[in-house]
Structure 1
């Protein structure tokens, strides 16, 4: 029940995003990411134990920070970018909230992949696509608000200016590495359909709400379409599987 209450709080925070602007919107982004991080960690602890939750944080938040710091300093693997000061305190130029976002969506992607396949390599691949495709929504939304910016912006996806293709390819490469490390850390970690329901709901909510927000409220129709297609590679089969069950 507590996990569902946490998910409800996350949903309310995300609903508030289009209703705010300026500093209030940036603060709400930080709150939303923290809620998502805590919800994923709490679910991992409740269903897999405290050790699994700690390993999840180490792999995804720790790994996410390392990659972000390296990416900002060197331009690899995402491209040449930098953060503004809008998202709060930074370490090595990376807002402290950013690594938490990797954990937030990595865990539901990992859990959703287990519902779709039991083969280890396939699960790593599906989970990586599920995580990386989220950035088809995330980057256009955050760049449009000036939370970070790209110095080199081409080539880009049609209709989504300001973000190079290298960013999405970098996300996929990093997501593959993180999911492979999660597999090593957590082992087989089979699906738990009943216990994992809050994570299925969070993943599907993120997918559908992002399409709606980008397409209607944020004026980002191209990223709505690209995100719908990319994240839909995991979200739609997951929804179908759950519906059939």
Structure 2
């Protein structure tokens, strides 16, 4: 039986020559992940104790998402050349930030000061959300689709599943962001179908943005090493931690529909991801 938390390879071989996709990432991965876990524990404990980091520790929200994005990219760099990771990260930030600016100018959402300083009306951590969603969502999708990785349309299935996972992520984030942490609020008319004040078109937007991001970044996210590498559970662990953070906050505010949906959906995701990884 394969161990659940199997480390990524420290070296791979192509043509008989040992190569390291990003040597620094293997040294940095563990301390960066531990730093994220410490920050996660502080934020999660504050939720349980009824504290509000948005008000008491305004720096914690930004640090939380900065570390989430950093550990996501560090984990990715263990499997890809650093130039690929850098270009992919740059594209994710540029595309997500550009779309967020346009949405802020035309959409019914208003950002508060809970996420820190704003750039052109958009809080600076917003692109970090998309880094975490894209990198880890794609990692989870690859685990789920692993049994079919040699089929013709495997890549398209991974892209589509990643976009669906982004929508799932937002289904837990929206009530957490609007009712728990007050990252933003929606001015949605009463006759428009909504999910905790977020209009349903918002979720279509998340699917479209994720699809657009993957359209630009997928060529840089493909591992071109012609050798098999160990299964990487790091994206799944991060994915479940982030969603559990949302679910905890939503439960404390008694947002039971959001809690139930997130628990059931992420349980299904976890089961299929582990099943696919052990295939």
CA deviation map 1:188-211 (0-9, x unaligned): 668976362322221233344543
* Structure label with greater radius of gyration: 2
Q: Higher relative contact order by CA 8 Å / sep ≥ 6: 1 or 2?
A: 2
Following TM superposition, the consecutive aligned residue runs of length 4 or more in structure 1 with deviations greater than 4 angstroms are 188-193, 229-233
One of 163, 173, 189 as aligned partner of 1:138: 173
Quote the residue 1:124 is aligned against. 159
1:48 aligns with 2:67: no
Contact 1:84 1:147 in 2 (8 A): yes
- What CA distance in whole angstroms lies between the structure 1 residues aligned with 2:99 and 2:206? 10
| Aligned match of 2:65 | 33
1:87 Cα offset (Å)? 1.4
Moved more, 13-22 or 105-114: 13-22
CA offset digits 1:123-151 (Å, max 9, x no partner): 10111112221111111111113221111
1:151: which partner in 2? 187
Partner of 1:239: 274
User: How high is the TM-score relative to the length of structure 2?
Assistant: 0.75
User: Does the Cα contact within 8 Å between 1:130 and 1:231 map onto a contact in 2?
Assistant: no
Structure with the larger helix share: 1
- 1:74-153 aligned at under 5 Å gives the runs 74-75=106-107, 80-117=108-145, 118=149, 119-144=154-179, 145-152=181-188
8 Å contact 1:41–1:53 — kept in the other structure?
yes
Gaps of 5+ in 1: none
TM-score normalised by length of structure 1: 0.84
| Residues 8/192 of structure 1: CA separation in 2 closer, same or farther (3 Å cut) | farther
Question: What's the CA shift for 1:232?
Answer: 4.9
- Higher deviation after alignment, 126-135 or 13-22: 13-22
**Aligned residues between the structures:** 236
* Contact persistence 1:120–1:188 (CA under 8 A): no
Shift of residue 60, structure 1, vs aligned partner: 1.5
Work out the CA distance in 2 between the residues paired with 1:95 and 1:27.
13
Cα distance, 1:209–1:151 mapped onto 2, change above 3 Å: closer
Residue number in structure 2 paired with 1:224? 259
What's the Cα RMSD here? 2.5
Choose from 13, 33, 49 the match for 1:7: 33
SS in 1 for 2:234: helix
- Provide structure 2 residue ranges, at least 5 long, that are not aligned to the other structure: 1-26
